């Protein structure tokens, strides 16, 4: 538990089944932020993945004064360059009303601690949109910007 700049109590913890309503609202808002409208079927599938041991996808949440106001989805995977495991931050979102209090940094730092405690080494990677400048200012303080270029091939119809 930490206190943010506003004096609010902040907790970063694993997601729980009781968080579903708050998570759905936040994940829907996250989609809108990136120009995507998630249908109920997508929300249902992603929610189920977060609790499916075989999926490898997990989540932590940021709770501010008892309300869930942010989340990070992540997964660990095998890395062929090191022969070990690396971690990937799949999604990160903090509600606009809670931004500026260090919650995105706290989520990333908690995820890095989880990775260190689990594997001891490796790396944590993530991507963001080129125009998400506000997030990049946070990320530039926490990590090294790489020179890798990301490509995406759509596999649906």
Residue 150 lies in a domain: no
pLDDT value at position 8? 78
Starting at the edge strand found earlier in the chain, the sheet holding 124-125 runs 2-3, 9-14, 57-64, 67-78, 85-94, 124-125
Residue 103, class by beta-carbon neighbours within 10 Å (0-12 exposed, 13-18 middle, 19+ buried)?
Answer: buried
Domain span at 97: 2-142
pLDDT value at position 4? 56
Residue 154 lies in a domain: no
Residue 93, class by beta-carbon neighbours within 10 Å (0-12 exposed, 13-18 middle, 19+ buried)?
Answer: buried
The mean pLDDT values, 10 residues at a time, for the chain of 157 residues are: 67 97 98 95 98 96 96 93 89 96 96 88 89 93 93 86
Q: Please state the domain count of the chain.
A: 1
Residue 25 lies in a domain: yes
pLDDT value at position 118? 85
Residue 149 lies in a domain: no
Residue 109, class by beta-carbon neighbours within 10 Å (0-12 exposed, 13-18 middle, 19+ buried)?
Answer: middle
Residue 113 lies in a domain: yes
pLDDT value at position 121? 72
For the chain, the residue count is: 157
Q: What's the N-to-C CA distance of the chain in angstroms?
A: 46
How many CB atoms sit inside 10 A of residue 105's CB?
14
Q: Are 99 and 90 in contact (CB under 8 A)?
A: no
For residues 97 and 78, what is the distance between their CA atoms, to the nearest angstrom?
36
CATH number of the domain at 104, please: 3.40.630.30
Residue 60 lies in a domain: yes
For residues 104 and 94, what is the distance between their CA atoms, to the nearest angstrom?
7
- Residue 73: beta bridge partners? 59, 91
Between the CA of residue 38 and those of 29, 46, 59, what are the distances in Å? 9, 10, 18
Residue 157 lies in a domain: no
Q: What is the pTM of this model?
A: 0.90
Residue 76 lies in a domain: yes
């Amino acid at each position: 538990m930490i206190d943010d700049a506003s004096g609010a109590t902040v907790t970063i913890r694993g997601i729980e089944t009781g968080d579903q309503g708050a998570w759905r609202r936040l994940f829907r808002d996250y989609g809108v932020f990136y120009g995507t409208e998630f249908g109920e079927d997508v929300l249902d599938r992603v929610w189920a993945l977060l609790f499916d041991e075989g999926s490898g996808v997990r989540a932590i949440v940021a709770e501010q004064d008892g309300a869930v106001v942010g989340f990070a989805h992540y997964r660990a995977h095998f890395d062929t360059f090191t022969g070990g495991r690396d971690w990937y931050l799949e999604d990160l979102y903090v509600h606009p009303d809670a931004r500026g209090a260090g919650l995105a940094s706290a989520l990333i730092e908690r995820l890095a601690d989880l990775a260190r405690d689990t594997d001891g080494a490796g790396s944590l990677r993530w991507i963001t949109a080129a125009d998400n400048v506000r997030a990049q200012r946070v990320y530039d303080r926490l990590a090294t910007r790489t020179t890798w270029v990301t490509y995406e091939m759509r596999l649906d119809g």
